[in-house]
Amino acid sequence: MASTTSSIPLGELSEEHELLRQTVRKFAESEVAPRAFEIDREDEFPHDLYRRMGELGFLGLNVPEEHGGSGADELSMSITLEELARVSGTVANACLLAKLQSELIAKRGTPEQIRTYVPRIAAGELICLIAVTEPGAGSDVASVKTSAKRTGSGWKLNGTKAFMTAGAVGELAVVLARTDPAAGGRGLTTFLVPKSPDGDPAKGFLADHKEQLMGMRGLATAGITLQDTLVSDEHVLGEPGRGLGNALGSFNNGRIVIASLALGLAAGAHDACLEYARDREAFSQRIGDFQAVQFMLADACVEIDAARLLVRRAAQLKDAGAPFALQASQAKLFASDVAVRVATNAVQIHGGYGYTKDAVVERIYRDAKLTQIYEGTNQIQRVIIARHLLPKAGGK
């Protein structure tokens, strides 16, 4: 699927993109929405929906056709994630995980690594996670402590990673580890590390306990442990010493998709509010006739549209091969803040019912908060944006 965005004005969709949006929405409403409450309540990774997205081609949208994907553009994935997140942030998150890891391996991997892993990720047959965050290193990626030391047969890895999406169910991890302690950020390397098949830490990573999260439940978030884990040179992803660039590049890509997910959460909350405002009555009239409610709905409408424009601009810049890091940070910052504001007002509009587990806006309220934290906190996004504005002290 070739990019069709170059001649389409920002904010408008081509026929191809509109058809994709309708296709994803149909799947989301018919197959994901009926499961959304269950996924959140049971906190179990939706393996069947993950594989189903692989069958439908959603997981491999951006994967080149020769590697089992559709070769679609970034805007296509953004549209897909928005539609999925309207009904389930968790399912959208599972989809973007596959997108980011398949893209990273396809970009940095050897031909053999690409053949081995990318088609399986795109098909939903393999869950791959990125292992960067540590108990003492979150946004400060360059300070990771996990080590990788040369051995006669390859590398020996030791360290602990925290808050890995799909860490409890993943079968392959892209691990960022320090290979040169004296080289700072230039001494980091990425490795493709399988999960230990039998609990022997020498054969792969071990999953720690699953985290009990406030929102985005069902993602099987967990830490992983590397304890004298042995990998060969064939498991090095990209050039040794270039791992920080690999991780940061993945984060730039991730900010577009996290922004798309946040946008979908905001849109889902707004949809629920519009329905509730039309049906719920108080003081002998529907609550949507009260100006206080109308203003919240109007503000949400404007902010969601503004967020969508920022997200699509970042996606189209990436598709055009232009620099997009600044625009990705802007989109992630604004869309995630919008998601939290819209979800907060959505609970308020729903009143006491909105504070119950039966209300979809209660789940969105909890899910939305995470979008301000991961893939670089919103405070970090402001730092990134400021650095683009002021590249050096006294710069213009």
- Sequence-distant (6+) residues with CB within 8 A of 116 are none
- The one-letter code for the residue type at 271 is D
Residue 71: how many other CB atoms lie within 10 Å: 16
Collapsing DSSP to helix, strand or coil, 237 comes out as: strand
- The one-letter code for the residue type at 267 is A
Dihedral pair phi/psi, residue 46, rounded to 5°: -80, 75
Which one of the listed residues 74, 82, 303, 375 is annotated catalytic? 375
Rg of the chain taking only CA atoms, in angstroms: 21
- Sequence-distant (6+) residues with CB within 8 A of 336 are 258, 259, 262, 368, 371, 372, 378
CB 174 within 8 A of CB 161: no
CB 259 within 8 A of CB 307: yes
Collapsing DSSP to helix, strand or coil, 111 comes out as: helix
Token pair in block for residue 172? 């392959």
The yes-or-no answer on residue 375 being catalytic is yes
- Sequence-distant (6+) residues with CB within 8 A of 218 are 39, 40, 42, 43, 44, 45, 46, 90
Tell me the C-alpha distance between 99 and 122, whole Å: 8
Q: How many residues does the chain have?
A: 396
Residue 12 Cα distances to 16, 21, 37, 195, angstroms: 11, 12, 32, 43
Q: Which residues pair with 130 in a beta bridge?
A: 174
Q: What is the DSSP letter of 195?
A: B
Tell me the C-alpha distance between 338 and 145, whole Å: 34
Catalytic residues: 375
